Every structure is written in C-alpha cells, then in structure tokens.
Amino acid sequence: MDQTLRVLVLLLVLLPFGAAACMPLFGRFARRMALYAAIGQMVITAVVVFGAVTTLNQRSRSEIEGRDLAYQHFHPNFIPGDPGLAGAEGSTQRTKWTLFSLTDRAPFENGTKHLPGPRVQFYLGVDGINLWLVVLCGIMMFPAIYASWNAVTEKPGTYYMWLFVLQGASIGAFLAFDVILFYIFFELTLFPAFFLIARWGTGSGRRDAARKFFLYTLAGSLLTLVGLIGVILTNPNPTTGQYTFSLPDLMRNVQERLNDKPEAIAGRIEWQTGLFFALIAGFLVKTPVWPFHTWLPSAYYEAPIGVTVLLSAVLAKLGCYGILRFVLTLTPDAALAYGLPVIGTLAAFGIVYGAFCAFGQRDLKMMVAYSSVSHLGFLVLGIFAFNAEGLTGAVLHMVNHGLSTGAMFAMLAFLLDRYRTTDMRPYGGLMGRYPGYAVLAFVVCLASVGLPGLNNFVSEMMMLAGLVDARNAGSPGLGLAIVAAAGILLSAWYVFTMLQRVFFQAHREPPANGPLPSRDVDRHEVFSLGGLAVLCLFLGLFPQTIARPMQADVRAISEMGELARDRARLLSMTAEEREKHLAQPKATPKMQPVATPKAKSKGKDKN
C-alpha cells in the first residue's frame, strides 16, 4: 500500500500537467475533457487521503503518548523515490531522485577531501499540514470549470490548459519538501495566472491587472529567494558543515545551532531578523497582507470568474502556507519577536480596512475580493500566535476560507451566466425568482461570516484562543484578538447588507443575457455550489475530521515556538539570573495532545 501511495503522490503533481498538455488538442470539447481530468485527479486524491489519514493518526498518537522530541521537524510520508522498503518502519523519509547537484568539485581533489555540494531533489511528501490543502486544490477545480462552462468560448483548450498548469504548480508547491523545488513551483504559479487574467479577463483593464499581479508577486518572491539562500548558508550541518536544501534537515540544523551558549544564540538571532523579513516578503504579497494587497482587487475583478475561484481559494493559501511552513520553522526567534508586533499589526489593520472597503463596494465581485483581504488578515494572526491552538486554527482556516470564499465567487457565476453583471444595484428580490439559488447563497454567506455550526466558526475561535495565550509575555495578542473579533462582526455587517439588497426588497433585475432567464440552479450549479455548501456544513459539525491528522505536525511547529519563548526569556535575564536558571535541571519537553474540536466524546479517548 505504501508503494502504491508513493506512485499516487507523484501522479497528484503529474496528472494536472499531463492534462494541461492534452487540453489544446480537444478544441471545443476541452471543457468536458477538463471535467473528466478533474474527476480523475479527485479520485487519486481520495485514495491518497484514505491511506494517509490512517498513517497520520497513528503517528500523532504514538508521538503524543510516548515520544520526546528534542528537535522538532517535519515527517513527510509516501515520498516518491524513497530508497527504503514499503511501510512506515522501512521508510527513510528521504528521496534518491536528484534533479541537480550544486558542486563542480570531485569528492577528492589535489589530495583533499571535499564535501559534496547540496542537491536539489524532487522531494515530495504528504503530512498533516499539506494533505488537506491538496484536497482543496482538487475540490476547487470543479467550481472553476463549471463557472467557465458557458463563459469561456474563445480558445477553450488553451484556457483549460493554463487552468491545469495552475493547479499542478499549486499542488507541487504544497507537496514539496525541498526548499528550491518549492520555490520553483511557487514561481511557476505566476505564469498561468498572468495569461489567464490577461487573455481571458472580462474587463478593459485586464492586461494592467495581470501585469501588476505578476510584477508585485515576482518582486516579493525574489526577496523570499534571497531569504531562503541566506537560511541555507547560515545553517549548515553543525557536525559535518554540509549544506542542505531538505526542509526537515534544515529545520534540525536551525534548532541544533540554537542549542548553544546564550552569547552565541544572541548572534544567531540577530541574523534571523534580516532573514525573517526577506523570507516573508514574497508570502506577504502572495497572501496578501495590507499594504501589499493592492494587486488583489484589480486581479480578482478582471479575471474570469473561474480563475478568481482558484486565485482566492488556492493561490492565496500559498502565501499563508509559506509563512507556516518556512518562516516559522527557519527563523523561529525572529518570528516570535516580530510576528505579532509587526506583521500582526499590519494584518489587524487589513482586517478592518478590508471590511470597510467591502462594505463600500457596489460590485459583488469587488466586495468578495476585499472580504478576502479581511479574512486572510485573521489567518495571518492565527499563524503568528505560534502555539498549538493558533496553528491548528490557521491550518483549518486555510481550508475553510478556501471553501467559503471560493464558493462566494462561484455564487457570482450564476448571476454572470444570466445577466453578465455583478453590480448589485440592479438586483432585488431574487429570492422570489430563484429560491434554490437563494438558499445556497445564504448557506455560503453564513459560513463566510462564521455562523456557529458552519466551518469558519471553528477555525476562527481556535485562532482567537491562540491569540490570547498568556505565554506570549508582552505580546499584543489580546488587542489583536479584539480587532479580529471586530472583523467578524464587520463581515456580518456587509454580507447581510448585501443579502438584504440582492435577495429581498422590491423585485428588479438587470437586462437579461438572451431570453428571459427564468431557470433556477441547474444540475451543474447544484453539484458545484451545493457541494461546497455541504462541505461548509460538514466541517462545521465535524472539524476533527481534518484536525486530528495534523496534530503531530502542528505540534512540531508549536514546540519550536515554545523553545523560542524559552530562549527569549533566557536572553532577557541578567547574567546572575541566567547562571542560576541554567544550573537548574531541565526535563526534555514532552509532547502534549493538540486541542482539537470534537463533536462528541465517545468512550475513553486519551487524545
């Protein structure tokens, strides 16, 4: 089974690129072939999830109950090219597939032994953090395809080709455990998004919007590359001096180099500060966090609605994922020192700013775009809480926000298909004409504002719990939590105002696109929009379904946060206090269960 899953993990990346290569051959039949390819991708994803959940749950239980980890790092599973035997016991959690090696010296030259250069490897794997984001990539292709079903008539083969390239690059970035391979996939997402906006955009400013998106994200990504290289060069293996691009190895190197005398630690933490701001630059733009968000409204507005679904649901999560996966783990002390005070302050301002901008919009597409800016600020706050509750809530919210915001954009495809406008002013009383559509829209909107029983509520409450953690001494977490809670209230304000204007009041409609559009949701729309509404309800009632498998990997990051807090306290002491503190015996930190939401407790459960 393990060997089969390794092959399927590889297919998760290769299938979208293979589908992309074939799409131009099908011409006007491309949309139907794209749907078949998306179904095939989802079947593979479901098999990987079925196999991975059991393994991840077992690892979470074993590490929580019995294993003490001095240094935390990720444990990817089902790695293509793993030289170990099939099965968890035989896996080496490494790959032998090397893309290229950065060395021009022989192992022995002039009688001197040289260390081999670092190797860029095709290092893919599944863990509790990226598994559900890969599932999100597969799910959101369906509303993206259905939203484009009637809207894209010009060169549909090329359009769906770029759509699958975007999906494949996103999945590759989520699955990559080699930092250079991640960066390659991360940058690759720019090209299909650029062409999709510039070529098939719906407004006169589509080329300017595509250009702005490309230049903003490229500039930030180049700074992130500088940060990645800096982390690699400043954290070779402490024993051998070997450089590595493997993320788990790099995490170990970072932690081992911080397990030193306080004087040496202080110097390394100073280096972390510059690397932290370089690393996070590209992720802040990709997320985006205020004031790096200015590309987002125009890109979301000008892009075809199917592309906007993927941009909001998947591509924005790459920025948050990069912060969680790379910034917290490779610069933990700087992330603790500057995460909430600096980045958190920007994110909190963005929550309020995005909410007021959303309320001021008269175009539904722009309203949802600014709503996304507001909600993503909340997500960044949860990440920088740097504890188990905040991180668990953040990973949950990546999935929840992707579903709810993607569903809100997919909801607009219904109006565009019938009226060719998302300006809310000509609409009113649609509940009487389209009752089925109204019910689905209400569920999606209630999920977006965090109604208890729907998906966003659980993740938002966990992120708030992480922000008020008393262990963050001197942190502005409580004030930021108040701002985040105010953001929830503001989101209800503008969403309910929109619902009242569009679905109630006196009945009115804009000019119809063709014959009078009297039909309610068709089967395609029930499948795509209704499926997302059902998922929002399911994850609101059973969040532990996706929270439990991520426990061990969330704990790995939160434990790094605890160690960073210990170092911060140690460096703040006087020399006498430090000497007394270091003389005390210390126990190795033992893993405790991550607080995960549960619907009901059945029997005796130690977890």
Is residue 576 scored above 60 in pLDDT?
A: yes
485, burial (CB in 10 Å: exposed 0-12, middle 13-18, buried 19+): middle
Find, among 322, 457, 448, the residue nearest to 375 by Cα: 448
Q: How far is CA 190 from CA 41, 133, 213, in A?
A: 22, 19, 8
In this prediction, what percent of the chain has a pLDDT beyond 70?
84
d(CA 552, CA 549): 8
pLDDT, residue 592, reads 44
Q: Is the pLDDT of residue 70 over 60?
A: no
Q: Is pLDDT above 80 for 517?
A: no
CA–CA separation, 1 vs 130, rounded Å? 20
Could you give the CA distance from residue 405 to residue 456 in angstroms, rounded to a whole number? 10
| Of residues 253, 97, 92, the one with CA closest to residue 244 | 253
List, for residues 87-114, the tens digit of each pLDDT value.
Answer: 545 566 788 888 887 765 545 445 555 5
Q: How far apart are CA 243 and CA 232, in angstroms?
A: 7
Q: Is the pLDDT of residue 598 over 90?
A: no
At 116, the pLDDT band (50, 70, 90 cuts) reads low
Q: How far apart are CA 475 and CA 341, in angstroms?
A: 7
Lowest mean pLDDT among 227-231, 497-501, 558-562: 558-562
> What tens digit of pLDDT does each residue of 478-490 get?
888 889 899 889 9
- Residue 605 has a pLDDT of 42
pLDDT bracket for residue 430 (50, 70, 90): confident
**CA atoms within a 13 Å half-sphere pointing along the CA-CB vector of 450:** 22
- How far apart CA 211 and CA 90 sit, in angstroms, is 48
Q: Give the N- to C-terminal CA distance of the chain in Å, as an integer.
A: 27
Q: What is the per-residue pLDDT for 48?
A: 92
In the structure, what pLDDT confidence band is assigned to residue 585 with cuts at 50, 70 and 90? low
Across the range 465-482, mean pLDDT stands at 75
| Predicted confidence band of residue 401 (pLDDT cuts 50, 70, 90) | very high
Q: When comparing pLDDT for 582 and 315, which is higher?
A: 315
Q: What secondary structure letter does DSSP report for 323?
A: I
Eight-state DSSP code of residue 579: H
Most confident of 101-105, 173-177, 231-235, 567-571: 173-177
By the 8 A CB rule, do 123 and 178 touch? Answer: yes
State what percent of residues in the chain have pLDDT above 90: 32
Pairing mode, if any, of strands 108-109 and 119-121? unpaired
pLDDT band at 509 (very low <50, low <70, confident <90, very high): confident
17, pLDDT greater than 60:
yes
Residue 31, burial from CB neighbour count under 10 angstroms (0-12, 13-18, 19+): buried
- Distance, CA of 559 to CA of 545 (rounded, Å): 23
Q: Give pLDDT, residue 69.
A: 46
List pLDDT tens digits, range 369-386. 999 899 999 899 999 988
Which DSSP state fits 121?
Answer: E
Residue-wise pLDDT tens digits, 25-52: 988 888 889 999 999 999 999 999 998 8
C-alpha–C-alpha distance, residues 167 and 196, integer Å: 13
Three-class secondary structure assignment of 528-542: HHHHHHHHHHHHHHC
Asked which of 183-197, 277-291, 526-540, 593-607 is least confident by mean pLDDT, the reply is 593-607
Question: How confident is the model over 200-254, as pLDDT tens digits?
Answer: 888 778 899 899 999 989 988 899 999 999 889 888 888 887 888 989 889 888 8
**pLDDT at position 606, please?**
39
DSSP per-residue codes, 283-317: HHHHTT-TTTTTHHHHHHHHS-HHHHHHIIIIIHH
Ordered by start, the domain boundaries in the chain are 2-83+120-566
CB count within 10 Å of CB 270 equals: 11
Q: Please, which residues have CB within 8 angstroms of residue 448's CB and are 6 or more apart in sequence? A: 371, 375, 404, 405, 408, 456, 491, 495
What average pLDDT score do residues 16-33 get? 90
The type of residue at 279 is L
pLDDT band at 578 (very low <50, low <70, confident <90, very high): low
Could you tell me how far CA 441 lies from the centroid of its own chain? 24
pLDDT-derived band of residue 153, with 50, 70 and 90 as boundaries? confident
What does the mean pLDDT of the chain come to?
Answer: 83
